Structure 1
Amino acid sequence: MSLSTLCVHVQDEQLRAAAETMPSARYVPASHLDAILAGLTEEASAGLGALLFSDGMALDTKGYLDGLWADTQRRARELGTEAVLHENTTVHDLAELNVGKGPYAGIVLAMGAGVADLAGVKDHLPPFMDMVAGISLTLELGAEGWAGAVHPERVHGAEPPTATTAVEPDAHSPDARCAGDLPAHASGWPEGAPSLAAMPYIAAQGSRRCVIGATWDRPAAPDQNPGTAPRTAGELLSQARALWPGLAAWRVAHRAHGTRVVSQRTDHGTPPYGGRLALGPAPALPPVWLMSGLGARGLLYHAWLAQLTAEGVLRGGEEHLPPELLRWRRRGG
């Protein structure tokens, strides 16, 4: 987890104006970027500006969600609830939920792009819900400082569609270089330096590990493996190394890929989608609710949207929902 974040963007004037409205942000011109993060290339930072959020954080998503769920279980025990907190089951049709533990007061679909795989649901989703495929890479500084070259045939294409793929470093590739041939900052992410919210982003996890991403391949076909998309892992790695050359000494440890739902932009930004999902004649099913389109802003919206959805299930209506959440029902989003 990085304890500060540097947002770098070509829209320099917009960043300068934004800094005036956000007390927690400080505008940093291109000429001063190297003082914030040693090793940024002049070519990469030319014409850019940045916002430094000294209190910003780059979170480990899995660690955050594990902690959130553990706290939910703890609070439920303190309240003495008899609710079943967690149950793993696999269904391909919502009607299968009525077998066994049911009936339920409501069903909440919070499964991202996977919602389109449920029988009887896909045909009732709005056609403009964008499916975006993408990959991210976890990089680690090798024990001996050798670079890990990314070979397309080893990173994608021939692999089974697993969520995470390990990629071994290749010391014999043309791209591999000894750390001794690189600048001093190549030995690790500078101590106290912020993570980068740029294109691509570089989220530091200590001095010897980081996550870079993410590719943005749209529209995503239902059966598309994001690893085979036109923008390859090698291109993503090259972009990150062009921004911070010290990554040339780091190897690719894992690749994560997936498909996400991205909501359409409005005058209020890109709020997610929520509300009741009309599935037609389905008397055996309780009310079905949709939570989707959180995109990269899930950390901002997830608790708010979950509370509104839970209130809707208990109330049996959605009159309390802001109209922005229901815009997916209107043609064009």
Structure 2
Amino acid sequence: MAMAIGSLSRFCGVDCRLTNPPPFLSFSSSSAASLSHHHPPLRYAVLGAGFAGLSVAWHLLTQVAKDLNVCIDIYDEFGVGGGASGVSGGLLHPYSPKAKLLWRGAECWNESMKLLSVAEAAMGFKETAQLDPEFQGLIVRRRGILRPAVSMKNLTLFNENAQNCLASCRIEKVDEDAAQTLVPNLSLPFNTAFYMPEAVNIHPQRYLQALYLACESLVKESCYSGFGGKELYFHKKSVHKLLDLKGEYQAVIICLGAKADTLPELSGKLPLRMCRGVVAHLQLPDDIGEEYPDHGPSILSDAWLAIQGRRSLYMGSTWDWKSRNSSPNVSTAEASEALKELLPKAYAIYPDLKKWVFAEARAGLRAMPPLTPYGSLPLLGCVNDMVGGNSKCKYWFFGGLGSRGLLYHGWLGKLMAQAVLSCNERLIPSELTSWKNINR
């Protein structure tokens, strides 16, 4: 069966051969002949296979003119979701910690939900079960998010800001009885919590893997459409210098998160602040009978609890500013420090967590953007002036998603693809490109 899938994939311009796969899929591409059309394909390189990179790849494939051939090469040495995106908590909603709708929150929320639907649809492919039986877990847990009020100031702000919530992601004020119906034994210092029933909890790695499968499927479908052909290749390797790619592509889109600063052409030129975050995986022991409620929401507080099931959750996150450590591995000492910091905050809201035990910890290095009058917004735009070299190749940057990559990636990936395909930076809101005017 693997032979048949591989043959079809190469014919369609997708190299699916597995080479040392990580937890799910990791593709190592080899050179393949272009589809037999009259004109060579437009070639684009996407550096990074996290939230930003895969959103850009998907939107490039869907927005390019139907009669054009396009080839997309994705580069990521850690595979799909192998960086900070795959370590994120996966809590998706369009609000600030003060329950205020974030900048362009409606557009970001809607586009992220669209991409989630795309990824969930991709889970239906038979190849999924054949490539990885463990991939049958859910991508999205549509069980809402609960945010307790932990101070009087907190309560006042929530009350005020919740009045301007989106109809598609409501914020409901609930008292202690109603909150404990959702999560038994929940502790509410001010007898009030704010419930977002439509907010979702994503499993980040499963989501990213499914979104890559959706890109593959789209490429395969183009083989039979009679229109222009699409090609997609995954290179499990890093790019050390941008100028090494200058003769190969119409455009290179840099979506490397914190690792973008390691590129010699961009090092020291990006107004990013690095912050390492540790997330702990906790499990309920087998001898404990009282489980987390099957339809119970995740919890947002000074420490968040992203519920993965009745006996499994993730707790986060620490904030180690100025760290340059991008390894997902967490030492025993680092894990111990993280638990010492996070557990008291979580116990204060959910005392039953004391029955749970530590399973493992993982970490990611976030690239945090500068603060603007509109909040901490991601950085987008053309960076040819920083890179230099051959002007025939356009270099674009999409980064600084910080801790809100899941919310921002859908809409901003769409905007970036539109700007790249049209070579027009003005399609990107000025709030996202003004960082280039900062005196570095």
Cα distance change, pair 260–315 in 1 and its aligned pair in 2 (3 A): same
- 2:381 counterpart of 1:275: yes
Alignment-derived partner of residue 209 in structure 1: 312
Is the deviation greater in 221-230 or in 11-20?
221-230
Q: What are the Cα deviations for residues 116-166 of structure 1, in whole angstroms up to 9, with x where unaligned?
A: 11222213223xx22111111111112234xxxxxxxxxxxxxxxxxxxxx
Q: What is the 5 A alignment of 1:170-249?
A: 187-218=290-321, 220-223=322-325, 228=334, 232-249=338-355
Q: What are the Cα deviations for residues 256-301 of structure 1, in whole angstroms up to 9, with x where unaligned?
A: 1121012234343333110012325323882211111212322222
Alignment-derived partner of residue 255 in structure 1: 361
Cα distance change, pair 292–113 in 1 and its aligned pair in 2 (3 A): same
Amino acid across the alignment from 2:405: G
RMSD: 2.7
Q: What is the 5 A alignment of 1:57-76?
A: 57-76=200-219
Alignment-derived partner of residue 170 in structure 1: none
How far 1:224 sits from its partner (Å)? 7.8
- 2:406 counterpart of 1:299: yes
Which structure 1 residue ranges, 5 or more long, are not aligned? 146-183
Q: What is the 5 A alignment of 1:65-214?
A: 65-80=208-223, 81-97=229-245, 103-126=248-271, 129-145=272-288, 187-214=290-317
Alignment-derived partner of residue 183 in structure 2: 37
Cα distance change, pair 290–249 in 1 and its aligned pair in 2 (3 A): same
Contact 2:276 2:365 (8 Å CA) reproduced: yes
- 2:5 counterpart of 1:5: no
Which structure 2 residue ranges, 5 or more long, are not aligned? 1-140, 224-228
Q: Secondary structure at the match of 2:375?
A: coil
Structure 1 vs Structure 2: percent identity of aligned residues? 26
Q: Secondary structure at the match of 1:122?
A: coil
How far 1:306 sits from its partner (Å)? 1.4
Distance 2:439 2:196 in 1: 35
Contact 2:318 2:341 (8 Å CA) reproduced: no
Cα distance change, pair 2–246 in 1 and its aligned pair in 2 (3 A): farther
Cα distance change, pair 229–97 in 1 and its aligned pair in 2 (3 A): farther
Q: What are the Cα deviations for residues 293-316 of structure 1, in whole angstroms up to 9, with x where unaligned?
A: 212322222122112222222222
Contact 2:250 2:392 (8 Å CA) reproduced: no
Distance 1:319 1:328 in 2: 14
